[in-house]
Structure 1
Amino acid sequence: MRRRLLPVLVLAASALVLTACTTPSGVPSSAPSSAPSSTPSAEPEVDPQLVVTLDGLTFTDETGTTEATFDDSDALLALLETATGDLPAPEAVEDMPGYEFKLETYTWDGLRVTADSTGENPSWITVTGAEVDGVPIATEEGLTVGSTRADLLAADAWALVDSEDSATAAYLGLGGREVPDTQSLTHPGSVGIIFLLFSLDGDEVTQIMSPSNDFSDI
């Protein structure tokens, strides 16, 4: 029965072709409409952002992403100058009795860099605001000055010494990484670590320091 349908379909198709060929004059035939031209989509805007890690800073804006490590103070300062449009004048740090470090600080609104003026030792930063000269700054976990203790604990932050309770301690650490050839002062017999250090006033973060460690004696 299905094979008998084929001639009928062929005849019907032929009739449609003949009808199309004999369209009366004066009746406009339909022409395919032109496809609408595509308009290039605008590039999404990228808000400037600074990110703190154990190794340094990352700055992202519409031009891309730049990274600088604490081991390269010049690159770190150049990154911050690019991000903020400003490079503050350095201020010498008074040495502690018995030490001679030749440290200097560069202070922005919301951040302070402490660097070795000789370039021989790594620098470190202290974040004191949620923005650095208007540029938002946070950790990789999204933690900022103003975050809560609950935010830190949710990210697995811990009290610096075992005798303290992370629910009440004034300082919490996050993201520990072992440093070979060092000895922890808080956990004797263990390898020392570097970590992000959070200072809290009550249950609110007031400062973030990177990197901090548990093997330096000052």
Structure 2
Amino acid sequence: MRRSLASAVALAASALLLIGCTSAPSSAGPSTAHTATPSPTPSATAEIEPQVVVSLDGIAVTDESGTRRADFADLDAFLNLVGEVAGGLPEPEKVEDPPGYEFKMVNYTWDGLKVFTNTAHDAPASVAITGPSLNGVPIMTEEGVAVGSTREELIDAGAWALDDAEDPRTAEFVGVGGREAPGTKSLTHPGSVGIIFTLVWFDGDVVKQIQVPSNDYSDI
């Protein structure tokens, strides 16, 4: 799935920056004696590796206590969960509005993650993954893409160029995944339903930043 989104993405990116074993069958014949065979001792449970996974809907935090989720649409729950991982909630930073717009947006910024929302907390959040980990916990997309991933890894994950005229092997921005957003209209493909997707920003052939969710139906 490819969309021509280069100009819209440039504006959006600018705003967000401001923002056990199985036994083999026995071949022995019948025996007149039956000896009880002890059950194999279960192997120790594999150690759970903590991680934060960002999807188009929100985040999932996995650690030794299990997996906890929060959606972008439930902003307070989302911020609380991120704060649990990050060790606290920072003061929001006012985002300068682009010329001609008045959004009253703020960023919550940690080393590795930036959350972008409005001052009233009545709109869904979006995020920019800016580092490979959040408070030492690896952070990635549901496709396994992280800051520091290579372009080849993105190609293997199905990355597509935002502009049909570009090649994902050389483009500065690519999309990963994506799904239709019912009730929206694509600004880049008139007559088509809009889509939401994961936006990946390269520095050469290495992932510099990941923005989730991005879309092709908002003008910023």
Range of TM-score over shorter length: 0.7 to 0.9
> The residue matched to 1:87 in structure 2 has which SS?
coil
1:117-196 alignment, distance < 5 Å: 117-196=119-198
Query: C-alpha displacement at 1:159, in angstroms?
Result: 0.4
Cα contact 1:104–1:115 (8 A) shared by 2:
yes
Give 4+ residue runs of structure 1 displaced > 3 Å after superposition. Answer: 38-44
- Offset from partner CA, 1:72-119 (integer Å, 9 cap, x none): 111111111111222111111122233222211111101100112212
Distance 1:127 1:119 in 2: 20
Residue-pair matches, total: 183
> The residue matched to 1:211 in structure 2 has which SS?
strand
1:87-98 alignment, distance < 5 Å: 87-98=89-100
Query: C-alpha displacement at 1:39, in angstroms?
Result: 8.7
Partner of 1:82: 84
Q: 1:39 to 1:217 in 2, by over 3 A?
A: same
Higher relative contact order (CA 8 A, sep 6+): 2
> The residue matched to 1:153 in structure 2 has which SS?
helix
Cα contact 1:172–1:197 (8 A) shared by 2:
yes
Cα contact 1:124–1:210 (8 A) shared by 2:
yes
Distance 1:71 1:159 in 2: 27
Q: 1:61 to 1:169 in 2, by over 3 A?
A: same
Measured on the aligned residues, the alpha-carbon RMSD in Å equals 1.9
- Offset from partner CA, 1:3-30 (integer Å, 9 cap, x none): xxxxxxxxxxxxxxxxxxxxxxxxxxxx
Structure 1 stretch 55-64 or stretch 93-102: which is displaced more?
93-102
Q: Any stretches of 5+ residues in structure 1 without a counterpart? A: 1-34
TM (norm. structure 2) is: 0.78
Partner of 1:56: 58
Distance 1:39 1:183 in 2: 58
Distance 2:45 2:90 in 1: 33
Q: Any stretches of 5+ residues in structure 2 without a counterpart? A: 1-36
Distance 2:119 2:137 in 1: 26
- Offset from partner CA, 1:109-161 (integer Å, 9 cap, x none): 01100112212211100001110121100112211101111111111110012
Query: C-alpha displacement at 1:47, in angstroms?
Result: 2.4
Structure 1 stretch 53-62 or stretch 81-90: which is displaced more?
81-90
Query: C-alpha displacement at 1:171, in angstroms?
Result: 0.4
Which amino acid in 2 is paired with 1:96? P
Which amino acid in 1 is paired with 2:120? T
Cα contact 1:48–1:61 (8 A) shared by 2:
yes
Cα contact 1:52–1:139 (8 A) shared by 2:
yes
Distance 2:156 2:43 in 1: 39
Of residues 94, 98, 107, the one that matches 1:105 is: 107
Identity, in percent, stands at 58
Cα contact 1:161–1:186 (8 A) shared by 2:
no
Distance 1:101 1:209 in 2: 19
